Structure 1
Amino acid sequence: MAAAQLMADLLADRSVAVVHEWFSAVGGSENVFLAIADLVPHASRHVLWAEPDADPTGLRQTWLARTPLRRSKALALPVMPLVWRTAGRPAPDVVISSSHAFAHTVKFGDPARTRHLSYVHTPARYLWSPDFDGRGANPLLGLPRAALRRVDRWGGRHVHAYAANSVEVRDRIRRFWRRDAVVVNPPVDVEFFGAGPDGARDYLLGVGRWIPYKRFDLMIDVAEQAGMPLVLAGSGPAEAQLRRRAGSAVRFEVRPSRARLRELYAGAAALLFPAHEDFGIVPVEAQAAGTPVVGLARGGLLETVVHGETGMLADSTDPRVLAGLLAEVPRLDRARIRAQAARFSHARFAERMTRWVDDAVG
């Protein structure tokens, strides 16, 4: 029996709510939320609000969606715990939250009757790791940060079981919330990204949202050091700055389709990923296409990339060091790279989620 059906059968006689933060059209955490919800087809789906470019079909939005606060996550953060404590009526038997801010504090019923499970992408970077992600440096968060940390830790006391998307995040949960968690890596559509034919493998590739902590500026420097063309695929607020920095050997692919992204992965000599990520779905997608990863020996890459076998990692942001790793890429076996990606398939995710939920709900 498919693991997805096992989860549906496990919770068939229970009412279930699946919860997420704000819902954007594109994003790794949103895709995980939808994957969790798909495992429990009868579950209701709750979000704080859906962004204008997202499809809100089937999503129950909170009253926060009807206020101006939806336009500023920094201003909305302090009221999110209150929203999650007043949004669930009637109380379901099981709540599964997908959390990267305050969704783990959701309380849709008395914990004596409702089992609250939380899948954590990361404890809120805005609160706990402001230096890790520059967006957390917003001056509006400076004064309330200490108070919000207490609310964040206290607000999750009723959670019966935590799952973390990586070892990195499990360690943060232990450090910040003083709770343990099971590691359940996110699902990646490795079948789709592995189905494209190999391309010329004659350029470097960077994929993701164009924001500072993703380090697309460093990718440009690495490609220049290596003397190789670079393709940057994605979109984001740093686009104008990156275009000013880029030379003629850099090509921008804005909002590529999934099919086009698969072509880009299959044609790249290597994916550049010099960011410290919680998990990092993009490197797994690249490996599914047989493309090695060159990046930092930090965070999620330590779980998804095998140094010297499926990519090359260095604990350095010196573009000369990272460019030097590219000399080792041609010897890597593409079949081995694809096999590594298969460890993070949707089927594996469904199996691990079912096991975790089974243990947690009894």
Structure 2
Amino acid sequence: MIDHFSAHPDADGTRPLDHLTSGRVALVHEWFGATGGSENVFRQISNLLPDAERFVLWKDHDAVEPNLRESWLAQTPLRRTKAGALPLMPLVWRTLSRERFDLVISSSHAFAHTVRLGSAEHTRYLSYVHSPARYIWSPNFDGRGSNPLLALPRRVLQTVDVRLSRHVHGYAANSEEVRARIARYWRRDAVVINPPVDVEYFAAAPAADQSQSRDYLLGVGRWIPYKNFDLIIQIAEAARLPVVIAGSGPEETALRRAAERARVAVTFEVRPSKERLRRLYWGARALLFPVHEDFGIIPVEAQACGTPVVGLRRGGLLETVDNGETGFLVDSVDPHSFVPLVHRLPELSPERIQAHAAGFSEQQFAARMTGWIAEARR
């Protein structure tokens, strides 16, 4: 056993993993985009293991991230189409490098957990899972891969996904929701380590916004169908409150058309900066989040600002929202079912909401990750 991966905790409860004196570590991630929750997790893991070699399928041209080793897939036109590259991903993860490593940690939401480097039998493989590939295992969540013509390819890829991951020694899931999927699809257990959220940044109110009246509702995220931004506009309309829609995505034209028909003011904030997003959170009466997410970092960011969340009683919100204390959860997607809860928002304490969000901090993530890695090495 190589016990140098275990270490005594620091004063803040984390174990320093960056002082390794022997043993090679590799970190692998799917494709690396400019922004995203999974990319942030990969960065945080990288901070814990700064001497590790880092591999990705490819890096988007607008992604500013140093020292990433791209796969051969990055040299092909397939880097521009995730759907086209998907069938090749298991092969890429098995032909990535012939180098030998003592520890390999993957950040996986497609096939990264199937990675195998070199041929050393003593290599320890760990995987932090954002979700088993949704477009393969649960396409009904967001529609990707739900075409009936793709049913047979999905079954083939499911078989490949399970078979090529038998060598993984330990899994961590980003939520109880994802842990249940890992058990259902892969027949494996996992520990739950919620992803890191920069709660300290969002909890610090912008000076000019200390006395915000919180007079609008807010929707934040990618403008794609399963995120239900059309429903957010309908909820605001039913509640007779203005709404701000922040983000970007292919649904922008359709959403702007819906906004023109709405009987309330709908304002669009396209690609807001982190600072601007914090101001939007602090100025909102509530974040509307009527979507089934694996975890959902955005609701935690909102709560760090003392802003309650009104969303669906599904997925990650069951873990990130304390129903009746830091927000309200709804079973129905009928926009009118949200209205009574929107009117109850003054009952909630911003201080209580912020305190709840603190449990999802980057420091908490670091402590849990280092503990999991050290335990898995024993």
The one-character-per-residue Cα deviations of 1:14-51 (angstroms, maximum 9, x if unpaired) are 21111110111011111111111111111111110111
Q: Is the 8 A contact 1:14 1:93 kept in 2?
A: yes
The one-character-per-residue Cα deviations of 1:193-223 (angstroms, maximum 9, x if unpaired) are 0012442211000111111111111100000
Query: What is the alpha-carbon distance in structure 2 between the residues aligned to residue 162 and residue 12 of structure 1?
Result: 25
Q: Is the 8 A contact 2:98 2:119 kept in 1?
A: no
Q: Is the 8 A contact 2:246 2:268 kept in 1?
A: yes
Query: What is the alpha-carbon distance in structure 2 between the residues aligned to residue 33 and residue 140 of structure 1?
Result: 34
Query: What is the alpha-carbon distance in structure 1 between the residues aligned to residue 319 and residue 18 of structure 2?
Result: 29
Match of 2:371 among 339, 355, 360: 355
Q: Does 1:341 align with 2:354?
A: no
Q: Does 1:205 align with 2:221?
A: no
Q: Corresponding residue for 2:305? A: 289
Summarize the alignment of residues 70-85 of structure 1 with structure 2, pairs less than 5 Å apart.
70-85=79-94
Query: What is the alpha-carbon distance in structure 1 between the residues aligned to residue 169 and residue 375 of structure 2?
Result: 11
Query: What is the alpha-carbon distance in structure 2 between the residues aligned to residue 299 and residue 172 of structure 1?
Result: 11
> Structure 1-normalised TM-score?
0.97
Q: Is the 8 A contact 1:4 1:39 kept in 2?
A: no
Summarize the alignment of residues 137-286 of structure 1 with structure 2, pairs less than 5 Å apart.
137=146, 141-197=150-206, 198=210, 199-246=212-259, 247=262, 249-286=265-302
Q: What residue ranges of structure 1 are gaps of 5+ in the alignment?
A: none
Query: What is the alpha-carbon distance in structure 2 between the residues aligned to residue 4 and residue 64 of structure 1?
Result: 36
Q: Is the 8 A contact 2:15 2:367 kept in 1?
A: no
**1:343 alignment partner, SS class:** helix
Counterpart code for 1:334: P
Count of aligned positions? 361
Counterpart code for 2:85: A
Q: Corresponding residue for 1:8? A: 18
How far off is 1:74 after superposition? 1.2
Q: Corresponding residue for 2:7? A: none
**2:286 alignment partner, SS class:** strand
Provide the aligned C-alpha RMSD in A. Answer: 1.4
Match of 1:93 among 86, 90, 102: 102
How far off is 1:286 after superposition? 0.2
Q: 1:12 to 1:349 in 2, by over 3 A?
A: farther
Query: What is the alpha-carbon distance in structure 2 between the residues aligned to residue 4 and residue 57 of structure 1?
Result: 25
Counterpart code for 2:375: D
Query: What is the alpha-carbon distance in structure 1 between the residues aligned to residue 195 and residue 21 of structure 2?
Result: 23
Q: Is the 8 A contact 2:218 2:281 kept in 1?
A: yes
How far off is 1:139 after superposition? 6.6
Q: Corresponding residue for 1:308? A: 324
**2:18 alignment partner, SS class:** helix
Query: What is the alpha-carbon distance in structure 2 between the residues aligned to residue 45 and residue 241 of structure 1?
Result: 39
The one-character-per-residue Cα deviations of 1:150-202 (angstroms, maximum 9, x if unpaired) are 00011110000000000000000000000000000000000000012442211
Query: What is the alpha-carbon distance in structure 2 between the residues aligned to residue 111 and residue 357 of structure 1?
Result: 19
Query: What is the alpha-carbon distance in structure 2 between the residues aligned to residue 359 and residue 209 of structure 1?
Result: 36
Counterpart code for 1:265: Y
Counterpart code for 1:238: E
How far off is 1:111 after superposition? 6.1
Q: Which moved more, 1:352-361 or 1:273-282?
A: 352-361
Summarize the alignment of residues 54-65 of structure 1 with structure 2, pairs less than 5 Å apart.
54-65=63-74
Counterpart code for 2:100: A
The one-character-per-residue Cα deviations of 1:37-71 (angstroms, maximum 9, x if unpaired) are 11111111111011122124211100000111111
Query: What is the alpha-carbon distance in structure 2 between the residues aligned to residue 62 and residue 335 of structure 1?
Result: 47
Q: Is the 8 A contact 1:296 1:314 kept in 2?
A: yes
**1:269 alignment partner, SS class:** strand
How far off is 1:109 after superposition? 3.2
**1:74 alignment partner, SS class:** helix
Q: 1:12 to 1:328 in 2, by over 3 A?
A: farther
Query: What is the alpha-carbon distance in structure 2 between the residues aligned to residue 13 and residue 314 of structure 1?
Result: 51
The one-character-per-residue Cα deviations of 1:77-112 (angstroms, maximum 9, x if unpaired) are 111011001112312111110000000000113462
Q: 1:12 to 1:353 in 2, by over 3 A?
A: farther
How far off is 1:125 after superposition? 0.4
Match of 2:343 among 327, 348, 354: 327
Query: What is the alpha-carbon distance in structure 2 between the residues aligned to residue 319 and residue 130 of structure 1?
Result: 24
Query: What is the alpha-carbon distance in structure 2 between the residues aligned to residue 28 and residue 329 of structure 1?
Result: 28
Q: Corresponding residue for 2:114? A: 105
